[in-house]
Amino acid sequence: MVSQLSKEFIELLKAEETDIYLDEPMTLHTSFHIGGNADCLCEVKNVEALKHIILLCKERSVPYFILGLGSNLLVSDSGIRGVVIKLGGEFSAITPINDTMIKCGAGVTLAGLCVYARKMSLGGLEFAWGIPGSVGGAVYMNAGAYGGEIKDVVVESTYMDSNGNIRKHKENEHDFSYRHSIYTDTDNVILDATVRLEYKNPNVISDRMQDLMNRRRTKQPTNHPSAGSVFKRPEGYYAAALIEECGLKGCTIGGAQVSPKHSGFIVNEGGATAEDVKALIEHIKKVVREQKGVELCCEVKFVG
């Protein structure tokens, strides 16, 4: 599909420091390697450029979507109408605030932040080693693993609202809960987050990170395209165990397969479409509902 945006609108987008990609395949920006084209993907370098695009989109009633590292997304086969905004440039900065606090741009990768924290002998982020997202995506989702969640370390975040105002949330104002934050299902753009960590021997930090990575590699299909766990953990159950008990391990629709290694993951076995994945999700939900009486809810976000 060719971009639905007018030439005039695209020219206006270019006014501030921004890299613009028209008809950009979302296969290149999602860990599933699935999705049609985005009308326009803008990589913004600073706050002014972001504000310019958000206000322009608002004025012209063009929808915008904030992309992190695309590791929790299923983008539709027909792509994304409007503007996809990716945070680059100054949003990739990591700045120490004091001995134990670090401010990081929303575009920083969790991996980059974990490595930086270890270099500074600061522990508390080991749980995040191996989560393939950005700081913005992690705060939005309250990402977590192995007993840790981003809510344990975030003390403050800065965001831009849909009017271009810059505001902050502190501590409990984040309303963090399981895979949810105050940012969930809003148009607000997370600009940065400040984390509070604690001094730890870097060798102890490294050992923990290595241990968690080994556990991931043993249990998860880390070498296949996926978006991680497709379903949230239902109260009192494990989604993967329910799916396996229903005999769905390895179940395949088109190019989408319930991972034979971890039933909570759907993997793209090659050429999977978003429709294949959606059909498989619906099939899993139906079978688990019928056999176990449990309603599974998606953790993966549908876009487009």
* x-marked contacts with ligand FAD along 106-125 as a string, rule CB under 6 A: x-------------------
Which residues ranging from 227 to 246 are in contact with ligand FAD (CB under 6 A)?
227-228
64 close to 85: Cβ distance less than 8 angstroms: yes
77 close to 303: Cβ distance less than 8 angstroms: no
Report the alpha-carbon angle 109-53-150, nearest 5. 25
Verify binding: residue 83, ligand FAD, rule CB under 6 A.
no
Chain center to CA of 148: 17
Verify binding: residue 266, ligand FAD, rule CB under 6 A.
no
Q: Give the binding range for ligand FAD (CB under 6 A) out of 34-42, 46-54, 128-136, 242-250.
A: 128-136
Verify binding: residue 257, ligand FAD, rule CB under 6 A.
no
Q: Which of 26, 40, 64, 68 binds ligand FAD (CB under 6 A)?
A: 68
Verify binding: residue 136, ligand FAD, rule CB under 6 A.
yes
Q: Give the binding range for ligand FAD (CB under 6 A) out of 38-46, 51-59, 142-150, 243-251.
A: 142-150
* CA 85 – CA 96 distance, rounded (Å): 26
Verify binding: residue 72, ligand FAD, rule CB under 6 A.
yes
Which residues ranging from 170 to 189 are in contact with ligand FAD (CB under 6 A)?
183, 189
The structure tokens listed for 225 are 């395209």
Binding stretches for ligand FAD (CB under 6 A): 31, 65-73, 87, 106, 131-134, 136-138, 140-141, 143-145, 183, 189-190, 222, 226-228, 301
Active site residues: 179, 229, 299
